[in-house]
Structure 1
Amino acid sequence: MRSMLFAGVLLAMPLATAAATQVQVVGLFPNAAVVYVDGQRKLVRAGQTGPGGVQVISADSRGAVLRVDGVERRYELSREYSAGFAAPSRAQMSIAQGAGGHYWVAGSIDSQPVQFLVDTGASSVALNEAQARRLGIDYRVNGKPMVVSTASGTANAWRVHLSSVKIGPLEVLGVEAVVIEGGSPTEALLGMSFLNRVSWREDQGMLRLESKI
């Protein structure tokens, strides 16, 4: 199951404002943008206000319209850094291999605590219905119905988008996930919709991960 993101994490030219607010657009989604403002990074949906009072007016696959200090303009993504602006350092973490050769890690979804089982064979983050309800995910209203294949056969499911998935210092915004009908998987699966957005490798019983920005 491939991610439906319009753009990966890219870096855009910061806006120049009278207040010298440092603003970058570091990701684009349908009607939402990830803005990086003076050291704070947040997914902001159209019509909402993010860090530093930056408001997202609209966003599409080509860029976002932002209102900063009352000035509204459209900015396209760029891989360029502006002169004098330092890129955020890359976050890193390591997970030790557990029983059965699995990797378990405590994290969060939309700031709610979750115990993850890292699963490189899962195409996306996966939750069962009880987990989704505990996290306040209204998957039946906001999700897209689908059928998925599991170890025990096929099952009804709903494709959703999570605002934030975080493990340790690594946070990915706008992550595709699947809520599966019933009680499987028993643990939340940290699948490739998260892992593809970070750098990772296995090294002598350790899973080493690093942010891409």
Structure 2
Amino acid sequence: MQHRTVHDVMSHQVATVRRETPFKAIAELLAERDISAVPVVDDSGRVVGVVSEEDLLRKESGQPDPDRLNPSLWMRPSDRRRAQAETADALMTRTVFTACPHWSLVEAAQMMDRHHVKRLPVLDESDRLVGIVSRSDLLRVFLRTDRAIRGEIVTEVLEHTMMIDPAAISVSVSDGVVTMRGQVERKSMIPIVERLCRAVDGVVALHPQLSYAFDDTRIDLDPPLVRGVMQPQRHTR
């Protein structure tokens, strides 16, 4: 099974700014590229921070209103400093969560969910920026056609991995929802088939209706017990 990685879906051409990039230039870049954040890199191309629309909006929210008191009076000191910032160095968020190109899409999604971020700069083995992956990039996997999903399940999961005759299992896919009907040889195979099918890129849900010919989960391989005591095994020569 060929799972897509961060490298497969990330944006390879990444807009960046430097520490000294002015506030207005950052705002113009975000508007021009239709992006919501931009990494800040040093002279070696390593990421030292990220400036987002949220960071820029602090300046707007900190502007005095003629009809009210200055709202910056109620800001936290760190937000007040950002509201007064003129360059990326003072604006940026310095804690940056990143991804690696070889990560699975699941790993990237878990990182975003765990830290409540919308995007991850992607770094190579030298910690240099090689791309950026966003939530929308991860969701592209669900654009796979039903035909492609079914083909991978039948060929890769059933035939090649589980060595099950595809004719024994009926597989249908509608809007990413997979329905399977049929019989496998052993009961222990069912959870494995289900797990592998759910892991196929683009699968939204799985509705398994599988039976089995032989229940191999009830085989007792332990030595016999007499009055609750395990009998020693005798060895003959």
TM-score normalised according to structure 1 size: 0.23
TM-score normalised according to structure 2 size: 0.22
Relative contact order, higher structure (CA 8 A, sep 6+): 1
From the two aligned structures, give the one with the greater helix fraction. Answer: 2
